[in-house]
A and B are shown apart, each in its own frame.
Chain A
Amino acid sequence: AQSVTQLDSQVPVFEEAPVELRCNYSSSVSVYLFWYVQYPNQGLQLLLKYLSGSTLVKGINGFEAEFNKSQTSFHLRKPSVHISDTAEYFCAVSANSGGSNYKLTFGKGTLLTVNP
């Protein structure tokens, strides 16, 4: 079974500052990794994903994340945030079992608040 830990439940930052949202996972098999964003009262949208290949993944809205297998981490970063980035961010993992896999395990989420 897989698990995901998002170390910060809330991250307040000022506009145009850099931000890092931390995510660690545990799994006995290789994994796929995801970051989703949820704006208030809406569903989730995929920001970026790591399936294989380059460990640095670029997503929408200027976000990027780096897969670090030795540290079992997949931290999300943005060099300069905007007010519109205020949202809840979820890290998620699914097993790369080589066959069908239907279970995506989510972290508890990190609320990013960007202040002017």
Chain B
Amino acid sequence: SQTIHQWPATLVQPVGSPLSLECTVEGTSNPNLYWYRQAAGRGLQLLFYSVGIGQISSEVPQNLSASRPQDRQFILSSKKLLLSDSGFYLCAWSQGTGTEKLFFGSGTQLSVL
């Protein structure tokens, strides 16, 4: 069966520090991978998606970047965190041509202080 792992679960970082959140998927090949951010009262915002190794699409301009160094690994990064980067970050994957069903990781609560 397929599983998705996301870590860390919580993270407290000072403003200006770097960020690296990692997500891996097991039990499937060539998944579509996604990073979402959830801010209080604002729903989920798609940040990045990837349909293959090295293929990254950015949905909104921001202080973050994503990379997919391996088929089932998706990394969210920042060189210098801002206060506004605080939020709940969710990794997700889907199979096939699109978003018929997304499987979500358990999320990372990021607090930038």
- For A104, the closest partner residue in chain B by CB is B99
Q: Are B99 and A108 interface neighbours, CB within 8 A?
A: no
Contact status of A102 and B43, CB under 8 A, knowing A42-B107, A43-B107: no
A97 to B34, CA, bound (A): 19
- For A105, the closest partner residue in chain B by CB is B46
The segment from A14-22, A45-53, A68-76 found at the interface with B is A45-53
A49 to B57, CA, bound (A): 25
A100 is an interface residue with CB less than 8 A from chain B: yes
Q: Are A32 and B104 interface neighbours, CB within 8 A?
A: no
Shortest B77–chain A CB gap in Å is 20
- For B42, the closest partner residue in chain A by CB is A108
Q: How many B residues are at the interface, by size bracket?
A: 20 to 34
Contact status of A103 and B59, CB under 8 A, knowing A41-B109, A90-B44, A108-B43: yes
A6 to B106, CA, bound (A): 23
A83 to B78, CA, bound (A): 40
Choose one: B34, B98, B102; the contact of A100 (CB below 8 Å). B98
What 1/0 flags go to B41-56 for Cβ under 8 Å of A? 1111110010100000
| Interface residues of A, count at CB 8 A | 26
Q: Are B98 and A43 interface neighbours, CB within 8 A?
A: no
A101 is an interface residue with CB less than 8 A from chain B: yes
Residues in B lying within 8 Å of A, measured CB to CB:
6, 32, 34, 36, 41-46, 49, 51, 57, 59, 90, 92, 97-107, 109
Q: What are 16 A-B pairs with beta-carbon distances under 8 A?
A: A36-B102, A36-B104, A43-B6, A43-B90, A43-B104, A43-B107, A44-B90, A44-B92, A45-B104, A90-B43, A94-B98, A100-B51, A101-B97, A101-B98, A103-B49, A107-B43
Top-6 shortest CB links A-B: A43-B104, A101-B98, A108-B43, A106-B44, A104-B99, A44-B104
